[in-house]
Structure 1
């Protein structure tokens, strides 16, 4: 059957089992998901028209389309969707479509391994999934590791596509870029976030770009049924970031489903994934992974790579790198609060035992009791306020820019992080 036939026939039957999910589901497509998709399609064939969507707070995320012509960016097609779904599920006021349901349905409708849905058919896919809004977009790339993402938000009932602000950077900036897309969705949907939700949304999926790309590759391999190779990619992700919860959970999920040998699928594995040819296009995932992880190591200290050819299956040992740190916008929504102050959140790529000092300048100072604290070994929270205040008047606030220097942070092995400097303004970072 042709895809267009399914689009015309699918309807309410799809949502009788599932409309959306509010709790983070698994990442591995199971037989149960496939059975659901088959039954949904069969039921839809009996219907004559697509139904309306009653729940306005349902959001789905389609895979992003890599238009750059650079195959090393392919993991971001599903990767961006995974990051956005993971974050959106932290918002209590909306329901979010599970990725595995989307993947199972796309497989059943013969969309191919990429699962890319074009703009013309996206609104109908949204109706099939019971999503009032769909997020998606295009990935474009320039020279070296540069890339830009043009996100869109689709109003499914109106079949209206609203373009969001383009975000750009390098591969290492992918976490910041995803957050810009995320908060753009929040703004467009007029979602009011609690301070707890905003703090959770500011947290990156992982502190390691290489870990993220390895995980994205693993998910795509799993979707194609290459479970042994997928498990090894999850292991690679955990070698880069042993606190990467989603990678750990996905590996455990595969073990519990009997899709991988628990004796070989461990976070201590040093056997690289063998190249796996894609079902479409004929490119090698080993070669793609090698290029992607090569880009991701810029400034990241990653020391392993995957072999796409030859007989040498021994990867380089991970370098004994010190910890690294990333920052999020101030918890109040990306703006410095005059006089009142607020909290800055920083995230480490590994467990930290202490930080020697945090200095703040620009007419601002540390505030709170204590003014700085390490939380869950991987987060640094720093309180801030204007230097002096009298009523609603700020004194000694001589700049709209706050400069924060974090120094002397050590991991549990005693390795010291290089000093890191961050700037925040009245408009955010």
Structure 2
């Protein structure tokens, strides 16, 4: 990231303190943040944030669709981006609660929306070198068009980043696209191991994420009981959603809600339903939730083409035995850069087993267990993006067994379309 020489970093101690505080910050806006925001507006004191060329503030997105059910994504996208960008080395991200406290003080708190006209002022008050935000637009039936932007605060130069488009069930993948588009624009190199860490989703459940986003919004408004209900709803959908669990514990520890038993993280993940499920009480409309968990499998099979170019192989030679572990995936396409497919096992697997991912093309793959029943598989070879590269990729699993030593049963081979 290149900047003019008259901008300088704060001392290393301040940097270390700030980066630690960013990671550990909770979701409840306290009197400390409100007092800080008042002083910021009045310019009475140093704001205590980084005056660094590598600092960035992530502001809430604007919902331009006119669909109220998408309002939760305004803060939700900012929350996910802050979480992922905080993992980038040498990039210092303004805490979400400080940003929200400032918006409250500027009478922007109800909507939390910053316009292109007000973004430079907000960036200066936050002492951020960059500000990123964006718009949520419609791209068709149940389709989203996310148009992110990046503002160079000192020079008030705004750049539009590539549009990320897809349906609501692909919100995690769309957010990952935006993260890497931001770091590319800032010329930040991300090592492969760090890239894999960033690619791990906050949750594989769209319902859990939407409940989390709404809970954060209620918390910002001081409606802590309602926030707690939605954090609990998020944990019911995904007991492994740590941000919801930590936020609920924070409300309890601060005495803002009564203590309650938290859901226990299950070792197994329920198999996804074929057609997804309804958002139900979470957003109150019939947006389908695709089961975002999936499976990789082995041994070739016959394939049947899908409408979007991808195909799913069915291994008809191995009938499914309900007493044996199975594997499945709802993913149909794989983007050639920075994407992954998720495999979901019907029960806990031996993650230390001697297994191998064997593609039918020469593509380097990496595998990462999210839990002992979820496996993320990501291609690490950019040849997938070559115009002469394959249009499909078949992933196979071999050597997988349950904790009881039972081998996989049923469908064992999946073919994905390649989106270049």
Same fold (TM over 0.5): yes
Give, in angstroms, the shift of residue 108 of structure 1: 1.4
Aligned partner of 2:289 in structure 1 is 297
Report matched runs for 1:28-43 at 5 Å. Answer: 28-42=28-42
Give, in angstroms, the shift of residue 353 of structure 1: 1.7
Classify the secondary structure of the residue corresponding to 2:89. Answer: coil
Per the alignment, do residues 418 and 71 of structure 1 end up closer, same or farther by CA in structure 2, a change over 3 Å counting? farther
Alignment partners' CA distance in 1, 2:402 and 2:88: 32
Aligned partner of 2:63 in structure 1 is 66
Pairwise CA RMSD: 4.2
Preserved CA contact (<8 Å) 1:87 1:201: yes
Aligned partner of 1:404 in structure 2 is 394
Structure 2 counterpart of 1:107, from 104, 108, 111 = 104
Classify the secondary structure of the residue corresponding to 1:217. Answer: helix
Query: TM-score scaled to structure 2, two decimals?
Result: 0.70
Report matched runs for 1:4-403 at 5 Å. Answer: 22-42=22-42, 44=43, 54-263=51-260, 266-267=262-263, 289-291=283-285, 294-299=286-291, 334=338, 346=342, 348=344, 352-353=348-349, 358-362=357-361, 364=362, 374=369, 376-377=371-372, 379-380=374-375, 399-401=389-391, 403=393
Alignment partners' CA distance in 2, 1:289 and 1:150: 23
Per the alignment, do residues 384 and 73 of structure 1 end up closer, same or farther by CA in structure 2, a change over 3 Å counting? closer
Could you list the per-position Cα deviations for residues 327-359 of structure 1 after superposition, in whole angstroms to 9, with x for gaps in the alignment?
9989x9649xxxxxxxx7746599742599854
Query: TM-score scaled to structure 1, two decimals?
Result: 0.68
Preserved CA contact (<8 Å) 2:292 2:331: no
Preserved CA contact (<8 Å) 1:407 1:417: no
Per the alignment, do residues 187 and 378 of structure 1 end up closer, same or farther by CA in structure 2, a change over 3 Å counting? farther
Give, in angstroms, the shift of residue 39 of structure 1: 3.2
Alignment partners' CA distance in 1, 2:69 and 2:243: 22
Alignment partners' CA distance in 2, 1:24 and 1:81: 17
Give, in angstroms, the shift of residue 228 of structure 1: 0.8
Alignment partners' CA distance in 2, 1:191 and 1:385: 19
Give, in angstroms, the shift of residue 405 of structure 1: 3.0
The size of the alignment, in residue pairs, is 346
Preserved CA contact (<8 Å) 1:360 1:402: no
Preserved CA contact (<8 Å) 1:155 1:161: yes
Classify the secondary structure of the residue corresponding to 2:359. Answer: strand
Aligned partner of 1:421 in structure 2 is 414
Gaps of 5+ in 2: 1-13, 265-279, 294-325, 382-387
